[in-house]
Amino acid sequence: MAAAACFLAAPSALARPPRPRARHSLRHLARAAAARPPAGPLALPASPRPLRDLAAGPVASAARRALAAAAGPLVVALASAALILGDAGGASAFVVATPRKLQADELATVRLFKDNTPSVVYITNLAVRQDAFTLDVLEVPQGSGSGFVWDKLGHIVTNFHVIRGASDLRVTLADQSVYEAQVVGFDQDKDVAVLSIEAPKDKLRPLPVGVSADLLVGQKVYAIGNPFGLDHTLTTGVISGLRREISSAATGRPIQDVIQTDAAINPGNSGGPLLDSSGNLIGVNTAIYSPSGASSGVGFSIPVDTVGGIVDQLIKFGKVTRPILGIKFAPDQSVEQLGLSGVLVLDAPPNGPAGKAGLQSTKRDAYGRLILGDIITSVNGTKVANGSDLYRILDQCKVGETVTVEVLRGDKKEKIAVVLEPKLDET
């Protein structure tokens, strides 16, 4: 029986796990983990203290001893994750708080726009229309454009085509206050008009007037407009050409020394100012070259040297005293078809300067045959090849000045002295 007991006890003893050895191994691992040095700058000291709160018992005790061996790396990983999350929050705060940085040229453009927008106004052109059903007379907007304050007296400068055909005009300032405007005067030939409003002087901020005679191709320009009356717009560019020539939309008379710019000039920007980099007025935006009607990067502005003289005359006299010959001439194509060069006089009224001097008009004889009138070939020794040349020469003359007009009459050339007279009043 004793032998049997010993036999039965032997398998039990053999199956029992070697606890002391396992206990020694776990204790050794725990000590090694505790003594392990920190793993880099983000590591925390390894300690098995957080594991003491585990439930008591044999299984829990074994688990406690097993987890204690990995406590060091686990705490390090958790601490690193927490530290990384904390750094991400700080980084996002820095990103949000970073202020916007602008370059020096951008700051200058922003400052120029803020300083000069109070001087740019919105102009509404109203026309009287009668309702077809009720027969009521209504004022209907037929056009709009921009303008700018010229002086503290309430004078507003814009294009003539902006106010053309208006029965009533309204000017909206930068603060959205609206005033009824009166027409002081206009110059159809140069597409310039001057209006007057009764507004407080503290709301009127005139633009500083610059000089356009010394402009250079390539210098920066800024076009400010108020095309819709809601807010101002700014387009920038450079002067792409000087001394260009365009025709007046009202009379077809050429406008010389026009500034060409690639700054976008939209239809609603007509009458607005063209500024240089110092914020000085150098031109009045008037037209674009575009067969499609969209801004194609070719805009034109009337130079301020031309505008200044016209505005001064309009404010003082209500009109421009520009000299004329007092003739009506044929289209340039008609003269070219005849194989000639010059300006063919169609009509020279007897009460006009040319008629008084003896220039002959085109007429028909008793048989209905066309008899050509005088063909002007030069004025004061300057050759005249077409109507634009004639206008260009007259723009350099003054009222009351006597000019020498050379004409081709039949097969002979004659020189006739003509005293220039002012242009008749326009309505």
Q: How far apart are CA 212 and CA 309, in angstroms?
A: 13
Long-range CB contact pairs, 247-254, < 8 A, 24+ = 248/188, 248/189, 248/190, 248/191, 249/161, 249/191, 249/287, 250/160, 250/161, 250/164, 250/188, 250/189, 250/191, 251/188, 251/189, 253/188, 253/189, 253/391, 254/388, 254/391, 254/392
Q: Is 161 a catalytic residue?
A: yes
- Rounded to the nearest 5 degrees, what angle is found at the Cα of 140, between the Cα atoms of 134 and 143? 155
Among candidate residues 119, 144, 196, 270, the one labeled active-site is 270
Query: In the numeric block, which tokens belong to residue 69?
Result: 């061996």
Distance of CA 202 to the CA centre of its chain: 26
Residue 63 backbone dihedrals phi, psi, to 5 degrees:
-65, -40
Give me the amino acid identity at 385: A
Q: How far apart are CA 117 and CA 225, in angstroms?
A: 8
Among candidate residues 155, 161, 189, 232, the one labeled active-site is 161
The residue written with tokens 């070697």 in the block is 18
Q: Is 270 a catalytic residue?
A: yes
> Would you say how long the chain is, in residues?
427
Among candidate residues 144, 187, 189, 191, the one labeled active-site is 191
Among the listed residues 104, 103, 111, the one whose alpha carbon sits nearest the alpha carbon of residue 278: 111
Query: In the numeric block, which tokens belong to residue 260?
Result: 């060409």
Catalytic site positions: 161, 191, 270
